[in-house]
Structure 1
């Protein structure tokens, strides 16, 4: 499995050797992000125990990579300070990254480390107790009894009656899925990102009534938009669509496209003017969940949301992206934005199957394997 990145690289968080390349318009293999993990390796490791990057979590100016080296685990953080091996992370099970903090979960503790240039400060730690036979621990930011927020107070309680399975934190809101497949949201709702049909905010988790009766298997949250995938592989989106991040018609993008067409075809101005009579089809805010057709050939297995872009993986391993593309975060080799899901042909033409996708605010990270690879 190989990880790739594209989009904003202003701090060298994708390609450290290309800090002058603020925009990476096409996927770049993240081999250079594994270099600092070599210091974590032992000389007695066999080739089968070589360092493997098993997860990437992205902030704005940094990216954290979780490594396996044999039976050992560690985290490396890359960004303005270069590549830093977080020695305090040895043995961690999971990690999440914000602009200020790196949160690490271990078998019995959760720790929040404040990130400074080449230094770290432990700002919060708590023992955790897992009761009963719950199987694998839920992924961060969920922890037993609640979740870890991006700012103080870090621990936020959740009612055990919710039976939380996964949680996604947007810029100012949260989206949670339960064991029954119900989706709850809370936080700021001024862009419709809570999915209740209004622009009202809410402090307490509230079920999205429009999705009742349709079990959901995963959720995602971006800057001011949200998404979830049903058990049957359908993708639902809601919230702000200013940059086409919902995959629904965006007036701003269409107008920009028309202006560019007018600039190129000055002699055909009348024929290229926008038809204002159709302006009512454009969507700036979608306050209820809307079904988006990404691919007619396959269901959706995974979705991730950036600040103003979205990425999804189909059941056959194709990657589609849409929304704001100014920094190349859509991976189509250009800075163009799009309000229609488009396949990232870099992977399909390279006979690669995409297995995971993680959107940073202005960039995207993808893991892929050869199409003929048989998972172990």
Structure 2
């Protein structure tokens, strides 16, 4: 498996550039990677490689590569504040099974314990730790971070948060201000801030405790993801449901703000061309013209039809963009694209899901996708896709 990345690269999360120094941002070409670029080992960091048996975890300024082979451990790329996080595999992470990366803490999950390391300090011991006692009925099976026995781990203190065992949590996705939980039965629960409709309960109110999304009851879900103010999930049948804020088209629904910005840009370009030609633009009225329907906030789950010929297998959300993989290995992206995080070789945002043609042109089968806040990472295999 090979990993490709595109989008925000100010700290070398995708591609290390020569001018990059600690805390520096480089020039525009280094900050924005608009097309898929393979993740490779920096020349001066041969120990930090993206192996075939690898999973990617991402935050705004960092990327963590979790090695799943005999040399299991984590290596970091991106903004690093100490020599201990130089990009080489962290000695403290040897043997870990999962990792959760944030702006301040790296949490490691081992078979018998959890450890959270403060990335802004050069401490030799974790800032927080907890022993794990696996319940007998689990038969050694473990759930992935941020879920842990009895609760979940946040990216900032208090790091441990408890959950009711009655929820029977299967997986959990966290934004900075709200959470979405998928239960073993396929039910979806949300809580936290709801000011942009991101909880899916039909209003803009917040919830202190997990509350079932009633609009999805009776339709078991298999995958969940969340951005800063929007939420998505995939049903057992491969359908994609979206809700929350659509200011940048991150729901894949018509966005007034985005369309207006694109129209202004097109008008300015057209006016410039006409001025060069010595003519003036003429606007003619259109009788009976219907105003388009735009969606700023979608407070209830809405079905998003990306492609009629393929189901959706996996999905991930950035701060204001979304990426989904079809069952036939195509990657579709939409939403905010100012840093190239949509992978279309442009810096243009879009409120319509578009296929990332690079992988199809290279006859690559996309197996998984992971979004950082302003970038996207895709795992691919060399295999031709056939869905059109």
Q: Normalized against structure 2, the TM-score is what?
A: 0.88
Of 242, 264, 283, the residue aligned with 1:270 is: 283
- Could you report, residue by residue, the CA deviation over 1:204-256 in whole angstroms, capped at 9, with x for unpaired residues? 00000000110000100101100000000000010000000000000011111
Aligned to 1:72: 71
Aligned to 2:275: none
Alignment of 1:145-184 (within 5 A): 145-184=150-189
Query: Following the alignment from structure 1 to structure 2, what is the Cα–Cα distance between the partners of residues 98 and 187?
Result: 19
Aligned to 1:257: 262
Query: Following the alignment from structure 1 to structure 2, what is the Cα–Cα distance between the partners of residues 296 and 241?
Result: 22
Aligned to 2:23: none
Aligned to 1:299: 311
- Could you report, residue by residue, the CA deviation over 1:125-155 in whole angstroms, capped at 9, with x for unpaired residues? 0001111342531110000110001222111
Partner SS for 1:32: coil
Query: Following the alignment from structure 1 to structure 2, what is the Cα–Cα distance between the partners of residues 259 and 307?
Result: 24
Tell me if structure 2 keeps the 8 A contact 1:177–1:219.
yes
The yes-or-no answer on 1:4 pairing with 2:4 is yes
The yes-or-no answer on 1:340 pairing with 2:340 is no
Tell me if structure 2 keeps the 8 A contact 1:115–1:121.
no
Aligned to 2:109: 105
Moved more, 318-327 or 54-63: 54-63
Of 221, 232, 238, the residue aligned with 1:227 is: 232
Q: Residue 148 and residue 344 in structure 1: after superposition, are their counterparts in 2 closer, same or farther (change >3 A)? A: same
Partner SS for 1:57: strand
Q: Residue 114 and residue 218 in structure 1: after superposition, are their counterparts in 2 closer, same or farther (change >3 A)? A: same
Tell me if structure 2 keeps the 8 A contact 1:316–1:353.
yes
Deviating 4+ runs (over 3 angstroms): 33-37, 50-53, 117-121
Moved more, 14-23 or 243-252: 14-23
Tell me if structure 2 keeps the 8 A contact 1:262–1:272.
no
Tell me if structure 2 keeps the 8 A contact 1:180–1:215.
yes
Q: Residue 17 and residue 158 in structure 1: after superposition, are their counterparts in 2 closer, same or farther (change >3 A)? A: same
Moved more, 261-270 or 152-161: 261-270
The yes-or-no answer on 1:203 pairing with 2:208 is yes
The yes-or-no answer on 1:217 pairing with 2:229 is no
Q: 1:177 offset after TM fit, Å?
A: 0.3
* Structure with the largest fraction of strand: 1
Of 294, 297, 309, the residue aligned with 1:285 is: 297
Tell me if structure 2 keeps the 8 A contact 1:261–1:272.
no
Q: 1:203 offset after TM fit, Å?
A: 1.0
- Could you report, residue by residue, the CA deviation over 1:38-94 in whole angstroms, capped at 9, with x for unpaired residues? 379xxxxxxxxx94351010011111001245x220100111335242110000000
Q: Residue 269 and residue 78 in structure 1: after superposition, are their counterparts in 2 closer, same or farther (change >3 A)? A: farther
Partner SS for 2:126: strand
Tell me if structure 1 keeps the 8 A contact 2:363–2:382.
yes
Query: Following the alignment from structure 1 to structure 2, what is the Cα–Cα distance between the partners of residues 362 and 17?
Result: 18
Give the root-mean-square deviation of aligned CA atoms: 2.2
Aligned to 2:252: 247
- Could you report, residue by residue, the CA deviation over 1:140-191 in whole angstroms, capped at 9, with x for unpaired residues? 0000110001222111111111110000001210000001000000011001
Of 10, 26, 31, the residue aligned with 2:40 is: 31
Unaligned runs of 5+ in 1: 41-49
Query: Following the alignment from structure 1 to structure 2, what is the Cα–Cα distance between the partners of residues 39 and 332?
Result: 28
Query: Following the alignment from structure 2 to structure 1, what is the Cα–Cα distance between the partners of residues 7 and 251?
Result: 19
Tell me if structure 2 keeps the 8 A contact 1:182–1:207.
yes
Tell me if structure 2 keeps the 8 A contact 1:165–1:176.
yes
Query: Following the alignment from structure 1 to structure 2, what is the Cα–Cα distance between the partners of residues 207 and 164?
Result: 12
